[in-house]
Structure 1
Amino acid sequence: MIKKIALAGALAATASFATWDKFPVLEANKGQAKVGVNYMMQGDWSGLDIYAGARYTVVQGLELGLKIPYRVMSDYDGNDGADGLRNLPLMVRYQFMPTMNAFADFILPVGEEEIDGDGLGIHAGVQFSTGLNQMISLGSEAGFKFETEGDDKYTPAYEVNVGAELDFAVMPQLTPYVGLDANIKVTDTEAGNIEFDDSGDLGLWIYVGAGYAATEQIGLDLSFGFGVGEDYYGKDTPMSIDFNASFKF
């Protein structure tokens, strides 16, 4: 049981406990819809998710978002794993300065309990973004995230995260990017009467990708990411490949 819980915690680190992006919100009365597929792997485990999401700026500076992820399949050492709806992120961002946003994400525990935890997740913090020059843009984020204890008596460690992304506008239609997210546990994970001594564990998520603007409204994006930090992720390196298409409206 302990091994199963530890593995679930490591795999959860690759999931979408994240904001829409690290850059300014859209203009008032503008929105964006996105559909995508995400393939994850770690050691003997692999999984495939599909997702749909949307964000909309209801008034100047205030953006609301929703993402609906669905686990299509998973496999562990040749054995089929759980599939079904995953927990739903509700996202709020407020741009209070031209270069700064405040955000809060609420992860609703409505998904399959065999995939995600059944506690409420909350992730909140601030973002800073700016253009470094005509070609390079910086987006950054600092936040705090935690999940309440659910019926399974499992409480993940509270975490602090800091991340940054550089976007390179090498062509009007093509924007490669590279990013790094650092996550550090500031409390111990608890499972019933068992307390893991994992406070202070650090995990780095490194990703590279590229966005392509097919038209002014339609965009395509492909990225690859992997985790570094054996104490945080486990002995096997988690990896993720994501492809999505978006439409601005």
Structure 2
Amino acid sequence: MFKKIALVAALAATASFATWDKFPVLENHKGQAAVGISDIMQDKMNQLSLGAKARYTVAPNLELGLEIPFVIFTHWDGEDVEDANGLADIPLMVRYQFMPNVSAFLDISLPTCNEDLCGEDGPVGFHFGAQYSQNFGMVNFGSELGLAIETKGDDKTTPPWELNLGVEGDFAINPMLTPYVGLDLAMLLGKYTVDGENMGDSHTGDLGIGPYLGLGIAFNPMITLDLCAQFILGKDYLKATTQSDEMVTALGATLFINF
């Protein structure tokens, strides 16, 4: 059960595939900090997490960021799961905008997860790809194409690669309110391997579908509150990644501070 909890947490924590957003990097020497809370639900599992993250453009078009996620508690069928809390894997993020509308990104997930929460696996995750964005008047369009892979952890298990495609539209209704909708697609490639040997059936083509919607509330140019809900479907994909084919629901609220 602990492995399943860790897998669900990892899946929902990367519901937006780890990148900060699908839009251009910040202006040179501009930064943003955020603190958020998320509630992740699947079948009988419910997990509440906090996250703090920051990004800063250290040179023209070059943005660096990191996130520190912390699981507050995990419930299974209404009962608290002992010790299923603590620090999760910390992602480090790099984005470089090499064209006005195109950026490249690399996210590296460090194996910092609490042993009681994730076990002793300790894999390092890599997610890399490109983003394209364009402003169409009151609609700001963002998109992403990426590939996620993991190294072998202590259990010598490597999951299939994961190809993701995401699109999002932000609607600038007025200076204060920005509703948005998006869709993330994730397709598995290959099999699970144990110590280099293929195990079980191929998961190539298993597709996860993650529609989401949210609302950004800008109190002033410095402070914005973001509310978001995402639903992850796809029975084969979820069975392969979380050991359950039940839909994952992720609800989140994040406060952003520009500096």
Whether the TM-score (by the shorter chain) exceeds 0.5 is: yes
Query: Residue 37 and residue 236 in structure 1: after superposition, are their counterparts in 2 closer, same or farther (change >3 A)?
Result: same
State whether residues 141 and 168 of structure 2, in contact with CA within 8 Å, keep that contact through their aligned partners in structure 1.
Answer: yes
Structure 1 residue 85: Cα displacement: 0.2
Cα RMSD after superposing both structures: 1.7
Q: Equivalent residue for 1:218?
A: 223
Aligned length: 246
2:129 to 125, 129, 132: 125
Q: Equivalent residue for 1:93?
A: 95
Q: In the aligned structure 1, how far is the partner of 2:39 from the partner of 2:8?
A: 16
Structure 1 residue 21: Cα displacement: 0.3
| Counterpart amino acid of residue 91 in structure 2 | P
Structure 1 residue 225: Cα displacement: 0.4
State whether residues 181 and 204 of structure 1, in contact with CA within 8 Å, keep that contact through their aligned partners in structure 2.
Answer: yes
Query: Residue 4 and residue 50 in structure 1: after superposition, are their counterparts in 2 closer, same or farther (change >3 A)?
Result: closer
The percentage of aligned residue pairs carrying the same residue is 45
1:7-46 equivalence runs, <5 A: 8-16=6-14, 17-46=17-46
The alignment status of 1:175 with 2:178, answered yes or no, reads: yes
Can you list the C-alpha shifts for 1:189-234, whole angstroms capped at 9, x where unaligned? 2356772422221101111001011011001000000011000113
| TM norm structure 2 | 0.90
| Counterpart amino acid of residue 234 in structure 2 | G
Structure 1 residue 13: Cα displacement: 2.0
Q: Equivalent residue for 2:242?
A: none
State whether residues 55 and 65 of structure 1, in contact with CA within 8 Å, keep that contact through their aligned partners in structure 2.
Answer: yes
| 148-157 or 81-90, which deviates more | 148-157
Query: Residue 69 and residue 9 in structure 1: after superposition, are their counterparts in 2 closer, same or farther (change >3 A)?
Result: closer
Structure 1 residue 113: Cα displacement: 3.3
Can you list the C-alpha shifts for 1:39-97, whole angstroms capped at 9, x where unaligned? 00000001000010000000110000010000000012244331000000000000001
State whether residues 9 and 47 of structure 2, in contact with CA within 8 Å, keep that contact through their aligned partners in structure 1.
Answer: no
Can you list the C-alpha shifts for 1:16-46, whole angstroms capped at 9, x where unaligned? 2420000000000000000000100000001
1:140-151 equivalence runs, <5 A: 140-151=143-154
2:250 to 226, 240, 245: 240
State whether residues 9 and 156 of structure 1, in contact with CA within 8 Å, keep that contact through their aligned partners in structure 2.
Answer: no
Q: In the aligned structure 2, how far is the partner of 1:115 from the partner of 1:39?
A: 16
Structure 1 residue 114: Cα displacement: 4.1
State whether residues 208 and 225 of structure 1, in contact with CA within 8 Å, keep that contact through their aligned partners in structure 2.
Answer: yes
Q: In the aligned structure 1, how far is the partner of 2:5 from the partner of 2:66?
A: 27
Can you list the C-alpha shifts for 1:116-146, whole angstroms capped at 9, x where unaligned? 45100000000000012x1101100001101
State whether residues 11 and 233 of structure 1, in contact with CA within 8 Å, keep that contact through their aligned partners in structure 2.
Answer: no
Query: Residue 160 and residue 111 in structure 1: after superposition, are their counterparts in 2 closer, same or farther (change >3 A)?
Result: same
Structure 1 residue 6: Cα displacement: 5.9
Question: Matched residue of 1:27: which SS?
Answer: coil
| Counterpart amino acid of residue 93 in structure 2 | M
The alignment status of 1:228 with 2:233, answered yes or no, reads: yes
Which consecutive unaligned segments of at least 5 residues does structure 2 have?
Answer: 240-244
Which consecutive unaligned segments of at least 5 residues does structure 1 have?
Answer: none
Question: Matched residue of 1:54: which SS?
Answer: strand
The runs of 4+ residues in structure 1 deviating greater than 4 Å are 3-8, 191-194
